[in-house]
Structure formats: C-alpha cells, structure tokens
Amino acid sequence: MNIKINELLQNHKSAHLLYAFNGMDNYIRSAVNFILDGVSLGQSIILIENERYLPHLMKELKKHLNENEMAKIHQINNFDFYFSSGSYHPPAILNYIENMYKPFLDENITFRTWTHVEWSTIDGPLSIVEELEKVVDRLVADMGLVIMCAYEEEGMPESLKLSLLRTHKFILSDDDVVFSDLYKVEDLIK
C-alpha cells in the first residue's frame, strides 16, 4: 500500500522512515519536500546533514521559504552528530539525540528530523548501525518522533539493506511511503 508522507503522519503519532537514495538530485528533491511539508505544518526541522549537501539543500529551500520559515530549520553537521564521541558509538549518539530534542520537547514545539547517515564512513561492523537503528526506533515510538533516515544506496552491502528494512517500519520510495515487510520480523519468529 502506497501512501503520502503527510497522510502517513496524520494517522501515526510517530514514524521512523528509511530513504535509500541514489544520486544527489533525488536526495535534494526528497529532503526539500520533507522539510517544506513540515514547515507548512508549522513544525521546526532538525536537519542532520553533511557539508557537501547542505549548501545545495539550503539554496533550494531559500527559493521556497521566507526568513522566518528558514529560522525553523536547525542544522547539525552529521559528522559531528554521529561521531560526537570520536567514533560511531550508539550510546553516545543516543545521548546526543536526547539532549538535542530536549528543548523542543520541553517547549512543546512540534518538529521532524531529517538525518543523512553516511554508513560508508563507519569504522567497524555494520551491526553497529542496526543496533543504533533499533534504539532510535524505540525512541521514536516512546517520544512520538518523526525521523527520516537517509542512506545512500549505491554500494550498500546487502546485510545493511536487510538491517535497515528490519529497523524501519516505513520506506520512502520517490514521493510515496510503503511499509517494510521485514520490519521487526525477528519479533514474529520468537
């Protein structure tokens, strides 16, 4: 069943979405649409992005948003975010997430997050990614968050693809969202 992101979010308090993208143009278009949709709903945006893509995103967003709307976009360097402890360490990342969201939650500010995860820079087993995504998935449900995790698909190992499908309930495909058939399949087996 294909649905639009806004339709999904009307029916779900929280959503942990996966976007496996190919090419910067597709990525920019999808990120901009996600951000514009959030801003149009009065939401703040947490944008966790790399230094290469950020100028392209901001240039495109400035075509559509005024200064007050642009002020709703809170930028975080994805390298600083994922490697805040010096390495890709899930407990440190979780602590960063909780501290990052605290001011929004304390002030009852609605927001959504777009995060660009660069798995190819992770030094260590890819199982660390799955561990973090499981923790984030629980956090999304517990805190009522909307988080889009964007991963570049080119060259992605099959084991990582399967991990991501198991840990994300919703998959962004072009402008539609589909449900992952593998989401929490390990819970069904037990």
The type of residue at 65 is L
CA distance 168 to 190: 19
For the entire predicted model, the pTM comes to: 0.88
Contact 124, 87 (CB under 8 A): yes
Q: Which two tokens stand for residue 11?
A: 């029916």
**Residue ranges of the domains in the chain?**
3-183
Query: 107, 106, 85: which is closest to 96 by C-alpha?
Result: 85
Q: What is the pLDDT of residues 28-40, one digit of tens each?
A: 999 999 999 999 9
Residue 66 makes CB contacts below 8 A (sequence gap 6+) with none
In 36-78 the beta strands, taken as DSSP E runs, fall at: 44-49, 73-77
Query: 177, 137, 161: which is closest to 14 by C-alpha?
Result: 137
Residue 81 confidence class, pLDDT cut points 50, 70, 90: confident
Q: What is the pLDDT of residues 86-127, one digit of tens each?
A: 566 677 778 888 889 999 999 999 999 999 988 665 556 677
Please say whether the structural domain 3-183 has been given the CATH code 1.20.200.10. Answer: no
Coil, helix or strand for 74? strand
